[in-house]
Structure 1
Amino acid sequence: MSGRPEALFKLFAGLESLEGVGPKTAQHLQTMGISAPRDLLFTLPHAVIDRQRRESVQDVAPPTTVTVAITVGEHRPARTKGGAYRINVSDAKTAFQLVFFHARGGYWSKVLPEGSRRVVSGKLEIFEGLAQMVHPDFIVPEDEADTIPEVEPVYPLTAGLTQKLMFKATRHAISLMPDVDEWIDPAQKSAAGWPDFRHALQSVHAPQAASALVATAPARARLAYDELMAHQLTLALARARERRAKGRASAGDGRLQARVLAALPYAATSAQTRAIEEINTDMASTTRMNRLLQGDVGAGKTLVAFMALLRAVEAGGQAVLMAPTEILARQHLDALQPLAQQAGVVLEILTGRDKGKERAGKRAALAAGDIQILVGTHAVFQKEVVFADLRLAVVDEQHRFGVRQRLELGKKGAAADVLVMTATPIPRSLSLAQYGDMDVSVLDEKPPGRKPIKTALIGIDRMEEVVARLQAVIAEGRQCYWVCPLVEESEAVDLTAAQERFKHLRAALGEEVVGLVHGQMPPIDKDAAMARFQSGQTKVLVATTVIEVGVNVPNATIMVVERAEIFGLAQLHQLRGRVGRGEAASTCLLMYRPPLSDSGRRRLEVLRETEDGFAIAQTDLEMRGAGDVIGTAQSGLPRFRVADLERQAGLMATAQSDARKLLSEDPTLQTRRGGAARMLLWLMRQEEAIRLISVG
């Protein structure tokens, strides 16, 4: 497929092709992320001004925008340079003033001669007891009153732009939109009561009332759906291409899986069993598996992942488990080693720390197929690491792994299956936006025996009580985490805070008892400090948030989070999940600095009330918005101009099934609706998707 269709050329031309837009205005528009006329189509008004004509300003409660016919009275020029030039005017019932600053010469006596009739529209205010309108937005002769829009849209602006300019430029941009075929499924469109695309554009830019501005208004909902549909088509194309990439059937006989399950002290939950079956089915098929395993803290993802790794071995191949850091890779090794022994399979680790002979030995064993399961960090990506027969890659993802890296890993093995694990419960709308190309298994039950964690809120002024509590817990042989906040932008300041707390706790609890980890430490020191805590040498670990991901110390029963009010909900939930991993009852103390803001209190109370990560994530989404929940910088989340992921989760799900259905019926988008869908992809700047069709 060649480049952009000619019908869209004008929409993607330079901004200066628009009426009234010169180089300077174009620069201002670019600061708003508007780089072509097309972007104005999706820059929607966020308010309306009612300019319907009234008889008089008498019954208006200022400040309000009013449109009224007036008779012009006496002019009172400014007494000082740059002072106020005032004109007395009267409407059908009362008198008020028009006020202008920086009036030049006789300009206003020409525009508003005494005794003339005009229609003015602007904001009526009270100043020193007098009603006045400063610089009306419109001043027209009575016979031109219909040039004032009855309802005027209000656009987002930045310095250097005016409403008039935005109004004019968006109108021009809309006129450049060619007629297009419909890309939405006809049944979906009529059930939702949505207008055609062009009609939707015209109506969102000419709202007749505030009710037209809500996300559920038909024209807005339609445009939101168009954005979501383009995004889901892109993901569905990536998925279809993955599926066309020949997979390999890895059918196991289940003997290794059964051996491990039988040796466990507890039965797998029904959610785990379901996920294991879904993965077994995927691996046995000839299309490549591309599955997301989503589970809350402590839902038992590791067991499910290990079953998948064993499946690859049962099928006569190898498997790899990738972790984002050295600490986590070693922890996976410790957790899986006993299970591997149970199954009688060879499990090894490869990280950046393996050097020289040892590294060469591991590489040779991998290439020969003697290592069956490898645990590693991104060191596994290196060119010289070669597998005899890689069947499966499991990625322990902490949002550091985008679609591209997933594809990269697949290249290591001829058509290796991919399973991505995430411990971050993501609301469904976001997981569809971020992982829409994948199939999803959700672990939504906790394994038996996990005790609930008690969560308490406590003011920072009660610090000494907390320290005393720690003394008692340590005396019972238990361990504690103490998390210091990353408050400042500068890590140096945070570091001082953590070091101060470290000194304070050592003085209170004893030199040998307290350890410290923070982001600035060399990795080797960090690992050593973590190892001392894991082995129980140190009883209290003071840490910046480096410990939130995956660390496993069953003997730790208290988690103190200092300045909890400045952490994100998801992050607090992850931190709390570091305790409650053993037999003993655990507590999470959220220390805050009073007074708490309303939203700060609401966030901490949600944590106190529930341990359900999905409920917490949903609250987080409602309170902070999509970009923040996933961390916009590395989120891989698309930036939607119209669609609102928080409030339009249902539309996202519909768009996903519609996009997948369209592609299953018309994989190369050749039908009439398929051609319309291509037009949609061009219009929504989804060039990558278009490349996927063309190479497909």
Structure 2
Amino acid sequence: MLRPDILNSYFAPITGLPGIGPKLAKPFNRLLGRPEGARVLDLLLHLPASTIDRRARPTLREVVPDTVVTVEVHVDRHVPTPRGSRAPYRVYAHDETGDLVLAFFKADRSWMERLLPVGETRWVSGTISLYDGIPQMVHPDRVLDAAGLAKLPPIEPVYPLVEGLGHGHVRRAVDAALGQTGDLPEWQAGTPALGFHEALRRVHQPADTEDAQPLGAAWQRLAYDELLAGQIALALVRARTVKQAGRPSIGDGRLTGRIEAALPFALTGSQREALVAIRADLASQDRMLRLLQGDVGSGKTVVALLAAATVVEAGRQAAIMAPTEILARQHMKTIAPLAEKAGLRVALLTGREKGKAREALLVALASGEIDLVIGTHALFQEGVAFRDLGLAIVDEQHRFGVHQRLALASKGDAVDVLVMTATPIPRTLVLTYFGDMASSELREKPAGRKPIDTRAIPSDRIDEIVARLGTALAQGRRAYWICPLVEESENSDLAAAEARFAELQAHFGARVGLVHGKMKGAEKDAAMAAFAAGETQLLVATTVVEVGVDVPEASIIVIEHAERFGLAQLHQLRGRVGRGDAASVCLLLYRRPLGEVAHQRLEALRSSEDGFFLAEEDLRLRGEGDVLGTRQSGFPGFRLARLDVHGALLDRARAEAAEIVENDSDLSSPRGVALRLLLHIFERDVAVKLLSAG
């Protein structure tokens, strides 16, 4: 669907704004996260981090030290920097209540004399501190005459910046952007106190400090718009998938009974509950769209297999899609022996299956000789056809977009969809990103999982860790050593996997293996297989081992630069150990000094192994985009809404979106047409495309 012309001024390139040429465009594109070229809309949605209140106009006697003030002073004399000295250039000034020294480093004398002429009155704005008991202002933000003061905004927004940009650049660009864009038809119900454009203007040009704060009326209006756009998009996806008639799949228990009998453990209560809900969905006339959340090691794969077997019993096929080849192969390893005992025909399809083997697999899939296929996104490529796909299971959903979920579901007729995540998601995020789904949780660990001893250790004690590892390896134990990046980049001081691998290899020789995301699939598999077989005992790895890798013999994990990981990710990594009989240890290596948030994160991890509790903590400490890894994955995070502040608006947005889609499913009413503008503005393009596709 084409973008309506009324939005052209919002989607125009920022290079059309006065003063932004090719040179300034580069840092603006970096700041706004648009390497391909930022637009006016990106600039308007870049909201201030704080404000400076320049309304405080005290006398020098009334000044509170270390606050931003604007004072009127009489300029008395200049004391230039002596030649060869590092002392600042000083200007002495006073008002009727006291004296003030203005200090400037590396100042040019003739310029200073024009800026602050002796004998004249000037207004200076900045932070006054006491220096040897005398009030001093170093590098004032503003030096103004009466005419300049009249133009000074009483409250100035302070923006997040990148190198190459100052606040002045951003403020001038935003002012121009507000001037070039205008009002849009109202999409909110009733007559809100502020329109969309007026709310943007008020946040960027605040008349009061509250205007530029997340709890202010203007920001709340914009946050609600963003939440509403997201919820309408989800509601439209749900309406298009679930409301299409489903095809009931009712199993007879012959395969699931054999699988359960072959399991080395009994199903947990929450696994049974999830299966009851899934089977009810499969048997109903509506299509299933369900989220299955499980904590580390809670047994999601077994639930997925039993769900797939139910569909196969009903004469149809199932598919499990994983985000990485390592994870797809891990699922295959877990599922294959159980499937074989039950007589379930399983195959693996990733980008690596080539030539005749791939052809034969595709023929078997299309003819129905394969009951369950496990693979990566290769599954929804053209040329992959099913005889009758009944259930699509998507693992680690947050690594895939909604459109990929739909692409796999479109491989069959009325396909049921089960989405799994091993990263427990806070309730507000479930509503935000998965509001179109029913939800089941696996909170219990299978019997016999031992607690993991988690310790935080400063990285300057790394030699002790290596020595202790040597003792453990000599006893035949296996360990992971996790590094955040693959290789040293110019601007990074991170301990890189390759450098760490070389150092540990110098200590332990051939017992050390390496796996990272830049290796070819076959190399990764070989490294993982060697570790699983015990040929290597210490595996140096990047976060490719975060999810799903299962080596029960591994009982030690060292996580380097733990302060740089999110809490949910640390919990995932820790879950790679504690899977076997040996007592397990997780060592969190951190670099001093530790910031307050990083300290709270490591403390939370030491105190709890409950992924659902840690997910809520992670949200509290970091914000939603990082929790789901969406800052990196291109998943639609929020630009304006902050769930810690605006979470209460989410239920209202969800209810309103449901009502809108129920009463105006193709958004063709006058309000619906305005809501289409909203979907464009917040780039919920999946929903816009669904509308155009009917």
State the TM bucket, normalised to the shorter chain: 0.7 to 0.9
Which residues in structure 2 correspond to 1:173-184 (within 5 Å)?
A: 173-175=177-179, 178-180=182-184, 182-184=186-188
Shift of 1:113: 8.3
Alpha carbons 1:271, 1:444 under 8 Å: kept:
yes
Shift of 1:224: 1.8
Instruction: Pick closer, same or farther for the CA change 1:590–1:145 going to 2, 3 Å.
Output: closer
Task: Name which of 556, 569, 572 aligns with 2:570.
Answer: 572
Q: Distance in 1 between matches of 2:500 and 2:164?
A: 43
Deviations for 1:423-451, whole angstroms, at most 9, x for unmatched residues? 12233444555445544332222233433
Q: What residue number does 1:540 align with?
A: 537
Q: What residue number does 2:492 align with?
A: none
Which residues in structure 2 correspond to 1:208-287 (within 5 Å)?
A: 210-243=209-242, 247-258=246-257, 260-261=259-260, 264=263, 266-287=265-286
Q: What residue number does 2:660 align with?
A: 662
Segment drifting more, 124-133 vs 371-380: 124-133
Instruction: Pick closer, same or farther for the CA change 1:67–1:278 going to 2, 3 Å.
Output: same
Which residues in structure 2 correspond to 1:426-505 (within 5 Å)?
A: 426-457=425-456, 459-460=461-462, 461-472=464-475, 474=476, 479-486=477-484, 489-490=487-488, 494-502=497-505, 504-505=507-508
Which residues in structure 2 correspond to 1:304-323 (within 5 Å)?
A: 304-323=303-322
Q: What residue number does 1:139 align with?
A: 144
Q: Distance in 1 between matches of 2:637 and 2:643?
A: 10
Shift of 1:305: 0.5
Shift of 1:301: 0.5
Alpha carbons 1:400, 1:634 under 8 Å: kept:
no
Equivalent residue of 1:579, what SS?
Answer: coil
Equivalent residue of 1:483, what SS?
Answer: strand
Alpha carbons 2:128, 2:135 under 8 Å: kept:
no
Q: What residue number does 2:97 align with?
A: 93
Task: Name which of 602, 614, 617 aligns with 1:616.
Answer: 614
Shift of 1:590: 0.6
Equivalent residue of 2:59, what SS?
Answer: coil
Alpha carbons 1:433, 1:637 under 8 Å: kept:
no
Q: What residue number does 1:683 align with?
A: 681
Q: Does 1:563 align with 2:560?
A: yes
Q: Distance in 1 between matches of 2:206 and 2:111?
A: 39
Q: Distance in 1 between matches of 2:452 and 2:91?
A: 71
Segment drifting more, 95-104 vs 202-211: 95-104
Instruction: Pick closer, same or farther for the CA change 1:521–1:638 going to 2, 3 Å.
Output: closer
Q: What residue number does 1:291 align with?
A: 290
Q: Distance in 2 between matches of 1:221 and 1:286?
A: 40
Alpha carbons 1:45, 1:155 under 8 Å: kept:
yes
Instruction: Pick closer, same or farther for the CA change 1:673–1:318 going to 2, 3 Å.
Output: same
Q: Distance in 1 between matches of 2:22 and 2:527?
A: 58
Alpha carbons 1:549, 1:574 under 8 Å: kept:
yes
Q: Distance in 2 between matches of 1:86 and 1:240?
A: 69
Instruction: Pick closer, same or farther for the CA change 1:52–1:655 going to 2, 3 Å.
Output: same
Runs (5+) with no aligned partner, structure 2: 490-494
Instruction: Pick closer, same or farther for the CA change 1:553–1:219 going to 2, 3 Å.
Output: same
Shift of 1:280: 2.4
Aligned residue pair count = 673
Shift of 1:316: 1.2
Instruction: Pick closer, same or farther for the CA change 1:433–1:532 going to 2, 3 Å.
Output: same
Q: Distance in 2 between matches of 1:362 and 1:487?
A: 36
Equivalent residue of 2:602, what SS?
Answer: helix
Instruction: Pick closer, same or farther for the CA change 1:270–1:5 going to 2, 3 Å.
Output: farther
Q: Distance in 2 between matches of 1:72 and 1:97?
A: 10
Q: Does 1:406 align with 2:369?
A: no
Alpha carbons 2:320, 2:393 under 8 Å: kept:
yes
Which residues in structure 2 correspond to 1:351-390 (within 5 Å)?
A: 359=358, 361-381=360-380, 383-390=382-389
Instruction: Pick closer, same or farther for the CA change 1:657–1:503 going to 2, 3 Å.
Output: farther
Equivalent residue of 1:54, what SS?
Answer: coil
Alpha carbons 2:349, 2:376 under 8 Å: kept:
yes
Q: Does 1:54 align with 2:70?
A: no
Equivalent residue of 1:58, what SS?
Answer: helix
Runs (5+) with no aligned partner, structure 1: none
Alpha carbons 1:321, 1:376 under 8 Å: kept:
yes
Deviations for 1:611-652, whole angstroms, at most 9, x for unmatched residues? 112222333344444444444564233253322245544444
Q: What residue number does 1:152 align with?
A: 156
Alpha carbons 2:68, 2:125 under 8 Å: kept:
yes
Alpha carbons 1:369, 1:387 under 8 Å: kept:
yes
Deviations for 1:531-552, whole angstroms, at most 9, x for unmatched residues? 45545x5483433244433233
Shift of 1:315: 2.0
Equivalent residue of 2:219, what SS?
Answer: helix
The structure with more radius of gyration: 1
Q: Distance in 2 between matches of 1:106 and 1:373?
A: 78
Q: Distance in 1 between matches of 2:233 and 2:366?
A: 36
Which residues in structure 2 correspond to 1:305-344 (within 5 Å)?
A: 305-325=304-324, 327-341=326-340, 343-344=342-343
Instruction: Pick closer, same or farther for the CA change 1:385–1:150 going to 2, 3 Å.
Output: closer
Q: Distance in 1 between matches of 2:377 and 2:652?
A: 36
Fraction of identical pairs, as percent: 42
Q: Distance in 1 between matches of 2:528 and 2:300?
A: 23
Q: Does 1:66 align with 2:60?
A: no
Shift of 1:309: 0.6
Task: Name which of 587, 590, 597 aligns with 1:590.
Answer: 587
Equivalent residue of 1:581, what SS?
Answer: coil
Instruction: Pick closer, same or farther for the CA change 1:171–1:415 going to 2, 3 Å.
Output: same
Length-normalised TM-score, structure 2: 0.81
Q: Distance in 2 between matches of 1:638 and 1:444?
A: 27
Alpha carbons 2:125, 2:140 under 8 Å: kept:
no
Deviations for 1:371-393, whole angstroms, at most 9, x for unmatched residues? 22233445545545432222222
Instruction: Pick closer, same or farther for the CA change 1:527–1:46 going to 2, 3 Å.
Output: closer
Aligned-pair RMSD on alpha carbons?
Answer: 4.3
